[in-house]
A and B are shown apart, each in its own frame.
Chain A
Amino acid sequence: MSNEPLLDVSLLSVTFGGVRAVDDVSFAVGESELVGLIGPNGAGKTTCIDALSGFVPNAAGRVTFEGRDISNWPAHRRARAGIVRTFQSVELFEDLTLNENLVVAATDAKWWSPLADAVWPRRGWSDDIEWALEAVGLQGKGELFPTELAPGSSRLAALARALVRRPRLILLDEPAAGLNTYETEMLADRLRALPPLGVSVLLIDHDTSLVFGTCGTVHVLDFGRVISSGPPAVVRADPAVIEAYLGTVTEP
């Protein structure tokens, strides 16, 4: 188990009707590693995250996490096992305050919890909530509703909600979408701080500068296939990648 990566994806395929959105994709994420997954629009990046987090069934292939085959686990079970994800479109619970959003994610329901809660209501508060808010720099904003947060802050809030159960691996779907340059830089700093805390990251974005600036390893998807893998410097120079992106990778 010591040499095995945290997450191992081998020959993963996802099909919608006759279309192969993800086609024989293989990669791994190691302990405390930051891995990037980039590719042009429609390359299958989000579908890949959907498949890893249990939101779409995989047609073929195997996903192992901490040595266990999780290919057929439902979404909530994967989250409880330590793989959490964020969404491209934030998706905070709008009827709940930020704190309540985190409470929902921090505690697991037991079969007796409705009975216990009906008799004596708990607040469900834990130190993890404070820690997660601090990790994204939103301390003191817990009583606000998601609609009261600035767009950039609500992305960070979604990140906090993913972090609150102290996962082993976090799958981020375009966390920088809609952020300005300054906010993106702040985000990059926060992401770099995660691996030392024991959280590995799989980062998906088409802002290539964020991915190249933070990740140790980068995989490039195009039409559902991995067309290039390696350290940022190598991937950046790969002619296949340049072709897929029509040269945009050379821009900063």
Chain B
Amino acid sequence: MLTHRASGVINFAHAALGMYVAYAYYKLRQTGELVLPILGLPDRVKIVDAPTVFTAMSVAVALSAVLGLLVYLLVFRWLRTAPALARVVASLGLLLYFVAIVKLRFDRSAGQLPLGAILPAGSVTVSGVAVPYNRLILAAIALAVATVLAVVFKFTRFGMATRAAAENEKGALIVGHSPDKLAVVNWTVASVLAGVSVIFIASVTKQLDPLSTSLLVVPALAAVLVGGLRSFFVTSFAALTIGMLQAGLLNYSTRSTWIPSWLPRSGLNHALPFLVIVIALTVRGASLPGRHEIRESRLPFSPRPRHVVPVTVVGVGLTAAGLLTLDSQWRLAIVVSLIASLIALSSVVLTGYVGQISLAQYAFAGLAGFVTAKLTEARGIPFPWAPLIAVALTTLCGVLVGLPAARVRGLVLAVVTVGAAVAIENLAFKSEALGGLGRVQIDRPELFGLDLGFSAKGADNFRAEFGIFVLIVVACSFIAIANLRRSPTGLRWLAVRANERAAAACGINVTSMKLEAFAVSSMLAGMGGVLLAYRGSLAPESFAVFGALALLAVTYLGGIASITGALLAGVLFSGGILTHVSGGTTGGTSDTAFAVSGLALVIAAVRTPDGVVGFFRRRGAGAGMRLRARAATGDGDSSAMAGSVEAR
């Protein structure tokens, strides 16, 4: 929250930074070595032999301060006026990076790290429930910090300046405060708080894990949104309440009997933040932005698809030829890329065309996959119908998740959809009705007596028939989306993305356009999920939030606002064609790759918002520009020329 005050960024990587610092702290306590988080520098440096709690803590504080500072100076400083999407993507890149680096540089499990207690043990009994001391102390610390922050921000010159800068940067500048300096201080303080609090949390709960600790950011953001990004007190109370409710639910649901058995017992507490977020936001939001709401700079340019027919014919022909002639590993890579590009296309529609940032698309894919598996397995519904029902259901879910989007936008919507993804993951994937926690095997698809199954014995494994089937589905979807983009429907979507107020003034029902996009996008994601399900077995963790982040990352790298970008994302996706060509195995993903892609994402967000596609387009347009400029000077139409020079 402090971060947001400082620079208007909702930082998804906040808990991840804390997580890294906590790892460093415990490693330091164990071996006296400080592990450095930067690729290319030596892994670790020896600081002292047997650090005490105090020295280790001071090193950890210094480390988090430095990290916070670096993150601000290198990344978010350049994104202050960038669109919400760029900032979300940059923080996601950081999140990926921190998680990957922890996996790379520390031992695989935190079990080897001694998560020693810092706070005194023992417990006090309150109305029949034993409450450990250390939790009370933690709560007290949290409230105390909130109080201090509230007082500082309310009464000191620094606090007032920060609030002023968050509200009106230019104004603060005129009055003589440097928003830059203020942001530096705030980022540092925020990072230290994140680092220290994760250290304490880990010492109390005895849990430290790169992924789940990083996702602590979801309930935290829920609390922040209840506090309306303004009040420290409301926020910390909300956070404590959510935490207590979660723990209570966990306790209660393992004992009670009234909760229906199809709901996973451990999932409920994870779904809670989502509900809190949705309620808090729907109450606060407005269906059209106000007159004075600041307009962010433009989203990536969305090129109009050209030469659709020839490109499709050549692309489909080449891919089919590849599927029929290359070996089985190639076939697998091509199929993975095709399916990934379909799910990436769902992000292109929703985020690129309509400007709604959603991190739930991957979860929708998973949902469709599991529903298909369940329908064929338990109900005996045959191939073409089970997937169709699953896709329809996913579309409906997408519209439901899209409902809050009618009232909130930008960064806040991203938070809502992360919440939704976590909720789907915990409620649906872990639910017993959908196969519980185990892997799900799915029947072989068959159509008109034709076996479309993927796996087979021996060298014939990963059969080309399935590849062709996937190719047909993917090609049809891409053509359909290209058609939409070129027609009035696509123009209306772009109009909503560009300017909701003006769109409404043109007779566009903005809410129904957004829901339409959520429906189309979830349908695409659902189709991708079904294909993934038929590719092999399904595991819940393959659709975890982390995968969603990785997918949005490659889509952004490819170019979020164009269908070519979706195709590129498919090629880049781990396990896809690029992985195969570069000699990697198509199985697991290496953490180095995640670290690099995280960094690449941050760089892309800062440098080239249009992605790879935009990068090449700009170079091409540059050449075209010069020609046009020459022609325009010939015509003497200098105003148009000046305009177009400015436009690029």
Contact = CB atoms under 8 A, between A and B. Distances in A.
Contact of A95 (B301, B505, B646): B301
A87 B506 contact: no
A117 B487 contact: yes
Contacts of B314: none
Contact of A122 (B482, B487, B497, B643): B487
A186 B214 CA distance: 61
A104 B483 contact: no
A109 B492 CA distance: 8
A92 B299 CA distance: 15
B317 to A, nearest CB: 22
Interface in A141-170: 144-145, 147-150, 161-162, 165
Contact of B507 (A55, A91, A165): A165
A95 B509 contact: no
Given A76-B510, A87-B505, A117-B489, A96 B483 contact: no
Contact of A121 (B288, B291, B484): B484
Nearest to A167: B507
A76 to B, nearest CB: 5
A1 interface: no
A93 B488 contact: no
A197 interface: no
Nearest to B506: A105
A103 interface: yes
A53 interface: yes
B647 A91 contact: no
A95 B298 contact: yes
A75 B504 contact: yes
B34 to A, nearest CB: 48
A92 B502 contact: yes
Contacts of A80: 507
A147 B302 CA distance: 15
B490 A117 contact: yes
B291 A55 contact: yes
Nearest to B480: A118
A159 B502 CA distance: 12
B520 A114 contact: yes
Interface in A167-190: none
Interface in B150-201: none
Interface in A37-65: 46, 50, 53-55
Q: Which of B301, B487, B495, B640: most chain A Cβ within 10 A? A: B487
B509 A109 contact: yes
Question: Which of A84, A104, A148, A150 gathers the greatest number of chain B CB atoms within 10 Å?
Answer: A104
Contacts of B501: 55, 87, 91
Contacts of B365: none
B494 A95 contact: yes
A108 interface: yes
B499 interface: yes
A103 B489 CA distance: 10
A25 to B, nearest CB: 18
A85 B504 CA distance: 10
Contacts of A122: 487-488
Contacts of A120: 483
A119 B516 CA distance: 16
A104 B513 contact: no
Interface string B451-482: 00000000000000000000000000000111
B505 A84 contact: yes
A94 B481 CA distance: 21
A239 interface: no
Contact of B498 (A94, A109, A147, A148): A94
Interface string B511-523: 0110010001000
A72 interface: no
A23 interface: no
B241 interface: no
A147 B291 contact: no
A124 interface: yes
B508 interface: yes
A117 B484 contact: yes
A74 B288 CA distance: 10
A121 B301 contact: no
A113 interface: yes
Contact of A46 (B291, B505, B506, B520): B291
Contacts of B301: 95
Nearest to A88: B291
Contacts of A85: 505
B127 interface: no
B182 to A, nearest CB: 29
B504 A76 contact: yes
B329 to A, nearest CB: 34
Contacts of B298: 94-95
Given A46-B291, A96-B498, A119-B480, A144 B491 contact: no
B44 interface: no
B519 to A, nearest CB: 8
Contacts of B494: 93, 95-96
Given A114-B520, A118-B480, A121-B483, A53 B505 contact: yes
Interface of A: 46, 50, 53-55, 74-77, 79-80, 84-87, 91-96, 100-101, 103-105, 107-109, 113-114, 117-124, 144-145, 147-150, 161-162, 165
22 contacts: A54-B504, A55-B288, A55-B505, A74-B509, A76-B508, A85-B505, A93-B498, A95-B301, A96-B491, A96-B494, A103-B491, A104-B495, A104-B506, A109-B509, A114-B484, A117-B487, A118-B484, A119-B483, A120-B483, A121-B484, A121-B487, A150-B643
Interface of B: 287-288, 291, 298-299, 301-302, 480-484, 486-492, 494-495, 497-499, 501-510, 512-513, 516, 520, 639-640, 643-644, 646-647
Given A122-B488, A148-B643, 18 more contacts: A74-B287, A76-B509, A91-B502, A96-B491, A104-B503, A109-B488, A109-B492, A109-B508, A109-B512, A117-B483, A117-B484, A117-B488, A119-B483, A121-B486, A123-B486, A148-B640, A149-B640, A149-B643
Cβ-closest 8 pairs across A and B? A117-B487, A79-B507, A124-B488, A148-B643, A147-B647, A105-B506, A118-B480, A75-B504
